Structure 1
Amino acid sequence: MTLTKIRTAAAGSLAAAGLLIALAGCSTPAANQPSASASPASASSGAASSTASSSAASEPCAGVKVVVDSGALKQAAASTSTCVSVDGPTVASKVLDEAKIKTEGTTQYPNEIVCRANGVPAADFDIKHKDGTYREECKGMPAAFAYWGLWVKPASGEWAYAQDGLGTLKVNPGESLELLFTVDGEPAAPAA
């Protein structure tokens, strides 16, 4: 099931709570976000061929550059940048595993979305947003105003909001993969 379909299904269940518009804005690229979808590459599967390198933040990456940005939460424990060697199209979840990024889904969507990355946000952490505070319980769909977004950037292109989940999105050598935590729409997209 694609991330777009999951978010659309969740929007239906949240409509009574008045979150339909916010969730729809979260499930598709916003006007100021790139509209290109991150589509899986060819059906062949490449394997990650080596472990991550923590010095990849400023160096070119021949594999997949992996970025985790706690964004609006500003929690350095979750933020990292590394390069993962791959020899062909590789599923995003495997690339994150190779980068030693621990992700946690939700009870309802354990493999499709990210509720926590490297333990952030912690279950007891108050996420401040425009209407107060919120604590992520990782039961169903994360809040439409506070969530980890999955982004992909081709070797020579712009960031695009991923249209597939961790278990189906494939990335290729030369591409970048980013998990970005957004609160109330900020940051709207990864930094260059």
Structure 2
Amino acid sequence: MKRTLRTYAPGALALIAALALSGCAQPAPSTAPLTSTAESNTAESSTAESSTADCSGVSVVVDFGTLKADPLTECVDADGALAASAVMQTAGISTEGTVEYGDQIVCRVNDRPAADETVEVAGEASFTESCASMPAAYAYWALWVKSTPDADWAYAQEGLGSLQTAPGETLGLVYTTGTETPTPGS
């Protein structure tokens, strides 16, 4: 699915923030409806790879791993740098951080694992995710990035709340269980 996000130059954002703080802000301009093209993403990872290669903006890949949900692949139109959290929001993918670390740590994606969902990992104690602090070291959402469609995945060095993306890049979230950290679609 292809989505559009309006970006502003840094100076424009500072002006908008200054106006908002001074009480003189005008309502935010409305954006055109999100544009979308249907892309079903229940196929193999090769389908996800080819659809991200066709994206001229920022691609998003979500792999729910053992949470047993269909993977998601989205394309967000972008003409400049965007916050990773804004890319996810525009792609229609909801994320929830933790109480202690905010949106720097991803605790839930599209409400998974649910607050009442028992997470089971072989050889580990079952639990329900509270999103209070760091997730269990053996069951968490891993954030990955690719600089180009043909690049290798790299583990993100920043959290979703501070990571900046650019057109041509891909963001990946994988629900990781056990001792290995799989890449999206692996």
Q: 1:140 aligns with which of 114, 118, 133?
A: 133
Shift of residue 168 of structure 1? 1.3
Matches within 5 A, 1:5-84: 51=34, 53=36, 54-55=38-39, 57=48, 58-59=50-51, 60-76=54-70, 79-84=71-76
Matched, 1:121 2:113: yes
Question: Which protein, 1 or 2, shows the higher relative CO under an 8 Å CA cutoff with sep ≥ 6?
Answer: 1
Match of 1:154 in 2: 147
Match of 1:9 in 2: none
Identity %: 45
- TM-score (norm. length: structure 1): 0.68
- Cα displacement string for residues 150-174 of structure 1 (whole angstroms, at most 9, x for unaligned residues): 1001113110000101121111111
What is the CA–CA distance in structure 1 between the aligned matches of 2:76 and 2:100, rounded to whole Å? 29
Cα distance, 1:52–1:107 mapped onto 2, change above 3 Å? farther
Match of 1:97 in 2: 89
Q: 2:183 aligns with which of 154, 176, 189?
A: 189
Shift of residue 113 of structure 1? 1.2
- Cα displacement string for residues 47-95 of structure 1 (whole angstroms, at most 9, x for unaligned residues): 999736342855310111111110122223xx31110001111110010
- TM-score (norm. length: structure 2): 0.70
- What is the alpha-carbon root mean square deviation over aligned residues? 2.4
User: What runs of 5+ residues in structure 2 fail to find an aligned partner?
Assistant: 1-8, 14-30, 41-47
**Pair member with larger Rg:** 2
User: What runs of 5+ residues in structure 1 fail to find an aligned partner?
Assistant: 1-43
What is the CA–CA distance in structure 1 between the aligned matches of 2:144 and 2:33, rounded to whole Å? 22
Matched-pair contact (CA < 8 Å) for 1:50–1:84: no
Match of 2:22 in 1: none
**DSSP-derived class of the 1:100 partner:** coil
**DSSP-derived class of the 2:39 partner:** helix
Matched-pair contact (CA < 8 Å) for 2:142–2:181: no
Equivalenced residue count is 146
